[in-house]
């Protein structure tokens, strides 16, 4: 008899839980996905993880740009998810102070340390002021220009040319990964690991960096209790995260130590030589000139954050751009025509355009913007509310609530881009006078918006234009027939299976 009593109690509890979830469904905030008793909306999320960006985009369209994701009832995996531009404008600019990264974000992204991407308030302002002084320095821009030109001539073009002559297929995303890793290493650390070469060497630090990013994405999709347990037991993705961070941290600290020793030999010199314009050098010397000390942790955290900002985002932008151009021959023809009209005198030469030259390529700039609209390198932006308030969309926000902004869905919004939002159409960015149309950052949010707008936006466009023009002027990219194209599960929107192509020679 006692057993039947327990069964009745258990059934009653289940009924109450089920009723509780039914009532929640009829709240004033629409749910994004089908909600299950106890498990919340986690099952449909996991079932569609392989196509998560398209899944969320369609769900947001059905919910009028904003909806709620609720995780299992025993977790804190709850988010308000939005692609509404006015709500984004409100959070990113108008009421910027009420929306922070927050402690949960820093816990998930602990590999970033206290760098600019995870910091809030005064620490964020401090990081931003330091990096702003570097990125807006004309000497740093010239240093980056010479670095990219040298790397394109000595590594990128020889590899592309070798692949073309051999007639073999190559993963273009891997090529760009290696190119940008070498670039960011030299830009930040003053060290070139030479990842990009004909033999495609395996570089431990580059592999470790990739694995760390994959694990961070995993943390965002799992309840905190699960990945915390895995971290404590050192199993699964968390074990891989620990090993990857250990390897990459060792790489960073070795370079910081080496840089400090190297700079001892340059003390007393007022002018920096070209190799000593890397970020570590600038930061250390700047602190010394002010009579301040700059610790290794700050340098390590700054370096790690810039690796994410200046490496994978550029790789993502270049990879999706070349796929789009390769599958849209009319766009490619217009890009080639623009280069020919502007630089006909360089015909027949291996050209690597400089900063001032690429700024004249308006149609190329528009095509890059269009690629970034459709495939934003960072597909989600996460925020946490400090105080409760009402969003312009009419959705209430509660104190400490987490918000996910889908940049991917915003790039596919008919409200923002019109009925032809799904088309790759660079012309939408060009005015009748032939200039680039300014789209507010809260609508075109690939470089963030408001006070957190990316400091390296202009440098990113310059780097991509230099790489794209140097390849397209001499080579035609042909995507392998039947090669699957889908986004990877990572914090940066890369291609899951890479971009397998063949390369043909041509001249403008």
pLDDT over threshold 70, residue 375: yes
Sign of CA dihedral 197, 199, 205, 209: positive
More confident residue, 77 or 11: 77
| Averaged pLDDT for residues 214-233 | 84
pLDDT value of residue 4: 40
pLDDT value of residue 30: 67
| Averaged pLDDT for residues 239-253 | 92
Label each residue of 394-426 as H, E or C: CCEECCCCEEEEEHHHHCCCHHHHCCCCCCCCH
- Cβ neighbours of residue 174 closer than 8 Å, sequence gap 6 or more: 200, 498
In the block, which residue shows the tokens 């790039």?
411
Let me know if residue 454 belongs to a domain. yes
pLDDT value of residue 26: 40
pLDDT value of residue 168: 94
The helix or strand, by DSSP H or E, that contains position 365, with its residue range, turns out to be helix 362-374
More confident residue, 270 or 352: 352
Q: What percent of the chain has pLDDT over 70?
A: 90
pLDDT over threshold 80, residue 451: yes
pLDDT value of residue 506: 81
Number of domains in the chain: 1
Confidence of residue 3 (pLDDT cuts 50, 70, 90): very low
pLDDT value of residue 276: 66
CB atoms within 10 A of CB 3: 7
Let me know if residue 229 belongs to a domain. yes
The structure tokens listed for 109 are 């992204």
Let me know if residue 32 belongs to a domain. no
Segments forming the whole domain that contains residue 237: 75-505
C-alpha pair distances (Å), 161 with each of 2, 481, 483: 80, 21, 22
Per-residue pLDDT of 24-45, as tens digits, reads 444 446 677 777 777 777 787 7
pLDDT value of residue 45: 77
C-alpha pair distances (Å), 74 with each of 15, 39, 40, 77, 236: 17, 9, 10, 9, 22
| Averaged pLDDT for residues 379-387 | 94
Let me know if residue 42 belongs to a domain. no
Let me know if residue 31 belongs to a domain. no
Label each residue of 231-279 as H, E or C: HHHCCHHHHHHHHHHHHHHHHHHHHHHHHHHHHHCCCCCCCCCHHHCCH
Let me know if residue 4 belongs to a domain. no
Q: Where are the beta strands (DSSP E) in 7-111?
A: 66-70, 78-82, 99-100
| Averaged pLDDT for residues 38-64 | 84
Q: Are 217 and 207 in contact (CB under 8 A)?
A: no
Let me know if residue 3 belongs to a domain. no
C-alpha pair distances (Å), 277 with each of 139, 222, 263, 449, 489: 8, 41, 11, 29, 35
C-alpha distance across the termini of the chain, in Å: 88
- Rg (C-alpha) for the chain, rounded Å, is 24
pLDDT value of residue 271: 52
Dihedral, 208, 213, 217, 222 alpha carbons, nearest 10: 40
Per-residue pLDDT of 159-192, as tens digits, reads 999 999 999 999 999 999 999 999 999 999 999 9
pLDDT value of residue 364: 97
Q: Are 376 and 411 in contact (CB under 8 A)?
A: yes
pLDDT over threshold 60, residue 273: no
List the strands of the sheet with 78-82, edge to edge: 66-70, 78-82, 402-406, 380-385, 99-100
The structure tokens listed for 321 are 């751009």
Q: Are 96 and 450 in contact (CB under 8 A)?
A: yes
The CATH number covering residue 154 comes to 1.10.630.10
Let me know if residue 365 belongs to a domain. yes
Q: Are 120 and 451 in contact (CB under 8 A)?
A: no
| Averaged pLDDT for residues 437-462 | 92
Distance CA(285)–CA(299), nearest Å, equals 12
Mean pLDDT taken over the chain: 86
pLDDT value of residue 309: 85
pTM for this prediction = 0.88
Quick one: DSSP state of residue 153? I
pLDDT value of residue 268: 55
CB atoms within 10 A of CB 503: 25
| Averaged pLDDT for residues 129-149 | 87
Q: Are 367 and 335 in contact (CB under 8 A)?
A: yes
pLDDT value of residue 6: 40
Distance CA(381)–CA(377), nearest Å, equals 11
More confident residue, 17 or 421: 421
């Amino acid at each position: 008899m006692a057993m039947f009593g327990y069964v009745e109690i258990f059934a009653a509890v289940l009924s109450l839980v089920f009723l509780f979830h039914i009532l929640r469904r009829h709240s004033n905030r629409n749910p994004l996905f089908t909600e299950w008793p106890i498990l919340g909306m986690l099952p449909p999320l996991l079932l569609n993880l392989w196509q998560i960006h398209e899944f969320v985009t369609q769900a947001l369209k059905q919910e009028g740009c904003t909806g709620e994701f609720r995780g299992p009832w025993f977790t804190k995996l709850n988010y308000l998810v939005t692609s509404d531009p006015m709500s984004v404008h409100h959070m990113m600019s108008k009421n910027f102070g009420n929306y922070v990264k927050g402690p949960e974000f820093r816990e998930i992204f602990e590999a970033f340390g206290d760098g600019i991407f995870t910091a809030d308030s005064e620490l964020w302002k401090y990081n931003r002021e330091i990096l702003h002084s570097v990125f807006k320095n004309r000497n740093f821009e010239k240093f980056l220009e010479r670095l990219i030109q040298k790397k394109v001539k000595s590594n990128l073009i020889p590899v592309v040319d070798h692949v073309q002559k051999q007639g073999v297929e190559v993963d273009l995303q891997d090529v760009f990964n290696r190119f940008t890793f070498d670039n960011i290493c030299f830009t930040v650390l003053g060290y070139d690991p030479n990842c990009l070469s004909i033999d495609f060497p395996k570089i431990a630090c580059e592999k470790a960096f990739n694995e760390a990013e994959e694990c961070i994405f995993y943390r965002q999709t799992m309840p905190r209790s699960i990945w915390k347990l895995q971290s404590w037991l050192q199993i699964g993705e968390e074990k891989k995260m620990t090993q990857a961070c250990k390897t990459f941290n060792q790489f960073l600290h070795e370079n910081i130590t080496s840089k400090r020793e190297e700079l001892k030999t340059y003390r007393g010199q007022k002018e920096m030589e070209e190799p000593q314009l890397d970020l570590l050098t600038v930061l250390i010397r700047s602190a010394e000139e002010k009579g301040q000390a700059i610790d290794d942790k700050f340098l390590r955290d700054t370096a790690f954050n810039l690796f994410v900002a200046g490496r994978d985002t550029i790789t993502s932008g270049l990879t999706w751009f070349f796929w789009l151009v390769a599958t849209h021959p009319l766009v490619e023809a217009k890009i080639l025509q623009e280069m020919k009209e502007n630089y006909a005198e360089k015909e027949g030469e291996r050209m690597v355009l400089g900063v001032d030259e690429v700024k004249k390529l308006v149609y190329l700039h528009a095509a890059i913007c269009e690629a970034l609209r459709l495939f934003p390198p960072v597909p989600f932006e996460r925020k946490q509310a400090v105080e409760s308030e009402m969003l312009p969309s009419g959705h209430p926000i509660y104190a400490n609530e987490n918000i996910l902004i889908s940049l991917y869905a915003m790039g596919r919004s008919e409200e923002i881009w019109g009925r032809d939002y799904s088309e790759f159409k660079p012309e939408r960015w060009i005015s009748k006078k032939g200039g680039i149309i300014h789209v507010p950052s809260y609508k075109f949010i690939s470089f963030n918006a408001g006070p957190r707008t990316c400091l390296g936006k202009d440098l990113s466009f310059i780097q991509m234009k230099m790489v794209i023009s140097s390849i397209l002027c001499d080579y035609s990219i042909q995507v392998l027939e039947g090669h699957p194209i889908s986004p990877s599960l990572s914090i940066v929107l890369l291609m899951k299976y890479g971009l397998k192509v063949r390369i043909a020679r041509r001249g403008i």
